[in-house]
Copies of this chain bind each other. A is one copy, B any other.
Amino acid sequence: MSAPIVEFLVTGDEVMRGIIADTNTQITASKLFPLGLALRQTTVVGDRGEDIRRTLLEVSARADFCLVSGGLGPTSDDLTAACAAQAAGVPMRTHAPWLEHLKQRWAKIRPNETMPANNLRQAELPESAEVLGNPDGSAPAFALRIDRCLFFFLPGVPREHHRIVDELVIPRLLEATGNAVLRSRILQCYGVTESRLDDLVSPIREAHPEVRFGFRTKYPENHLSLSALAPDAATAEANLSRVERMCREVLGSFVYGQDGVTFAQAVGEEVARRGQTICCAESCTGGLLAQLLTEVGGSSRWMVGAFVTYSNGLKESALGVPRELLQQHGAVSEPVVRAMAEGARHRSGSTWSAAITGIAGPDGGTPDKPVGTVWLALSGPPGTTARPAKYRGDRGQVRLQSAYGALQLLREALGPGRAP
């Protein structure tokens, strides 16, 4: 069978007003996609009966399944169950087993209080609904068919929502897919623009419609996602790996990793694989490079630390950069960045050290050394190398590109046929 059409409907004035972010849909979409249940549309409306009913009916004519979240609580702005009944053209009725469950639940949690009448509303459900329940709350999830679409009505509270999706909804959806299998891969690239990436892979994309191509910018990186959906795992895997191999061939060393690794992590793990260590010497990046390396869990295996020498005085005292170099060449210069890298390696005893000094802006630029002028250096077993760079963008972008540039220096040094 062809892949079923799945939609989401999210309700709630607070989402409409930007007070809360709807995080449920992203998490649930990311669970459904690998199952071959591609989400086709998400609609978000406020707590207005006419908008909820209209959307239910629109969705009912075009989707096979719809996950609805929000509006099942006990308060007066919780309209979803009544709107579902109206859209389906059935009356509401009290669901006796859930009413009993609610009473028992209340007696257990608050034995000395009477349950407010409002709470009884949560046992009022559309007559044709199939109650799915709720392991963690008082609002029951339920399923209801309207026209061609089977709707799953779910509480919006994230903890309740996700448990019900995992335990009660996904098994039902999987049954319906006829076991279609998806295999996907994200190739993470650095050093190539999005349009160049597209140019490089587009002949492959055109020749292989059995795999879907997607592009994503995660500044300053660009990612290529490949997705193969097939009736069985072997076909999906074969299609994916064939196309992945071709893409890797044209992209070469632009690909630094796959499936969620970070650039710093990829470089750091290569350092770790060799039983080596790294230390940083940072001026304009002010700790950003160290922070990218240490946000990786377990980085203490290969990360020694960093000297953030923002002032010239600290470049001298913490790294041993000679004052004459700073005076003669300025802090943003090849001799100083080399001395920083060598000082950090010497003082930390690390295998490698990466150094950065530059002008991140918005102030501090000169005609000679405008904002974006950066010197990078790497010191390690083969010696010390330095590289100048000119970056564009605002302060944050210059800093991020500088940190990536330093990591790239190290990555090149660790590359095939390079330093052992």
A274 part of interface (Cβ distance < 8 Å): no
Q: A17-B29, A74-B194, A216-B20 are in contact. Are A41 and B43 (CB under 8 A)?
A: yes
Within 8 A of B (CB), among A19-46: 19-23, 25-33, 38-46
The answer to whether B286 and A308 touch across the interface, beta carbons within 8 angstroms, is no
Chain B residues within an 8 Å CB radius of A285: 291, 294
Copies in the complex: 2
CA A221 – CA B91 in complex, angstroms?
A: 34
A303 part of interface (Cβ distance < 8 Å): yes
Q: A17-B33, A318-B348, A362-B297 are in contact. Are A46 and B51 (CB under 8 A)?
A: no
Chain B residues within an 8 Å CB radius of A210: none
Chain B residues within an 8 Å CB radius of A307: 305-308, 318
User: What's the minimum C-beta distance from A271 to chain B, rounded to whole angstroms?
Assistant: 13
Chain B residues within an 8 Å CB radius of A31: 18
Q: A390-413 interface mask toward B, CB cutoff 8 Å, 1 = contact, 0 = none?
A: 001001100100000000000000
A90 part of interface (Cβ distance < 8 Å): no
The answer to whether B14 and A18 touch across the interface, beta carbons within 8 angstroms, is no
The answer to whether A199 and B116 touch across the interface, beta carbons within 8 angstroms, is yes
The answer to whether A39 and B26 touch across the interface, beta carbons within 8 angstroms, is no
Chain B residues within an 8 Å CB radius of A30: 17-19
Q: A291-B288, A297-B395 are in contact. Are A199 and B46 (CB under 8 A)?
A: no
User: What's the minimum C-beta distance from A236 to chain B, rounded to whole angstroms?
Assistant: 16
The answer to whether B318 and A347 touch across the interface, beta carbons within 8 angstroms, is yes
Q: A30-B18, A75-B194, A116-B196 are in contact. Are A280 and B308 (CB under 8 A)?
A: yes
Q: A16-B39, A30-B17 are in contact. Are A300 and B294 (CB under 8 A)?
A: no
CA A23 – CA B21 in complex, angstroms?
A: 8
Which of B16, B18, B77, B295 touches A27 (beta carbons < 8 Å)?
A: B18
The answer to whether A51 and B40 touch across the interface, beta carbons within 8 angstroms, is yes
CA A299 – CA B45 in complex, angstroms?
A: 39
Could you list 14 A-B pairs, sorted by A, with CB under 8 Å? A14-B216, A17-B38, A21-B21, A41-B45, A42-B45, A73-B194, A74-B195, A109-B392, A279-B314, A280-B287, A287-B290, A291-B291, A313-B349, A317-B348
